[in-house]
Amino acid sequence: MVVVFSVIFPKNLLFFPSFLISLENQTNKNFKLILFNDGVVNLDRYFKDSSLNIESYNVNNMSPFEIRLYGLEKVSEMGADYIIFADTDDLMTSERVASSVYYLKKYPFVCNDISIISKEGKLMVDLFWEQRITNKFEFGIKFIKNQNLIGLGNSAMQGNQLNKILNTLVGHSTGSDWLFFSAAENHLHAVFVTECCTLYRQHDNNIIGKKEINSASLFSMINKKIEHYNSLKRINFNSYAVDEQIELNQNILQMCKADPYFYDNQIKKINLLGINFFWWEESNYINLAQ
């Protein structure tokens, strides 16, 4: 069984009909959409004209991370062979289900490229990471040590890999996509593909795309990276030295606070690099040796 897994909440309703259409346009239609509803009233009205095979479940009084873990427990109980993740404010190209299923027959995890679209759905940047990593690039836990490119909007996984992650994250009420996939540790054998992509919508607080960082966004990024590494410590993560990453990012914060001139120059340097950054990557280019 192939499952497309997603969560809908009121803030995403503006984009939800186009999300459903992108699923209806898949070349491989042999999948079930498993949708967890966080607060949308009368959600069924969006399904009445849809050809999709949809199961929806209402959830409440949970954090976004808890909803995803709870939902994935349900998907695991269903015995899904393949799970394709999607965000309800994004779109997917027509080959995404077919391509994900094809590669999941060989790889435990699949990660596809993203194309950046505006809030209105206009294409801004096609295949955002294609110039940095090649099609069929294989990666593991070390590649996402201080950056991330595999999220719950551009990835898929074999169902038999799910319980390891869920068991590791029991009791966690907050966390990121980065934490979710890091919990796989050395089981994270993934392939990056460009044969399909996620159309990644830019709005509100999305942290990627053609935009410059500033002091507030960089400080926030570094603090969230420290939070991420502390979460890894709580799950007894041991695939790389987490304490080293915490210390490095704490030193970056201290240096930037102590020397505003240094900090401003680092921001200017990063903004001039012209790199299509992975998630959380920008702070890796701060040079403490200067």
Q: How many CB atoms are closer than 10 A to CB 94?
A: 15
Q: Are 32 and 54 in contact (CB under 8 A)?
A: yes
Look at residue 205 in the predicted model and tell me its pLDDT.
53
Look at residue 101 in the predicted model and tell me its pLDDT.
98
- Residue 213 pLDDT more than 90? no
- Residue 290 pLDDT more than 60? no
Q: How many CB atoms are closer than 10 A to CB 254?
A: 11
Mean pLDDT of 209-220: 79
- Residue 178 pLDDT more than 70? yes
Look at residue 273 in the predicted model and tell me its pLDDT.
92
How deeply is 154 buried, as exposed, middle or buried, from its count of CB atoms within 10 A (0-12, 13-18, 19+)? buried
Residues 62-115 pLDDT 10s: 999 999 999 999 999 999 999 999 999 999 999 999 999 999 999 999 999 999
Q: Which residue's entry shows tokens 């070390």?
A: 142
Q: Between 146 and 209, name the one with better pLDDT.
A: 146
Look at residue 217 in the predicted model and tell me its pLDDT.
87
- Residue 37 pLDDT more than 90? yes
CATH architecture of 2-201: Alpha-Beta Complex (3.90)
Confidence bin at 289 (pLDDT 50/70/90): low
Domain extent listing, the chain:
2-201, 215-285
Mean pLDDT of 129-150: 96
Under DSSP, the state recorded for 262 is H
Look at residue 260 in the predicted model and tell me its pLDDT.
80
Look at residue 287 in the predicted model and tell me its pLDDT.
78
DSSP helix/strand/coil, 226? helix
What's the full length of the chain, in residues? 290
Mean pLDDT of 119-123: 91
Look at residue 209 in the predicted model and tell me its pLDDT.
54
Give percent of the chain above pLDDT 90.
81
Mean pLDDT of the chain, nearest integer: 93
Q: Which of 75, 110, 107 is nearest to 4 (CA)?
A: 75
The pTM for the full model equals: 0.94
Q: Whole-angstrom Cα distance, residue 212 to residue 267?
A: 9
- Residue 206 pLDDT more than 70? no
Look at residue 215 in the predicted model and tell me its pLDDT.
83
Confidence bin at 49 (pLDDT 50/70/90): confident
- Residue 277 pLDDT more than 90? yes
Look at residue 207 in the predicted model and tell me its pLDDT.
53
- Residue 203 pLDDT more than 80? no
Look at residue 204 in the predicted model and tell me its pLDDT.
62
Look at residue 210 in the predicted model and tell me its pLDDT.
52
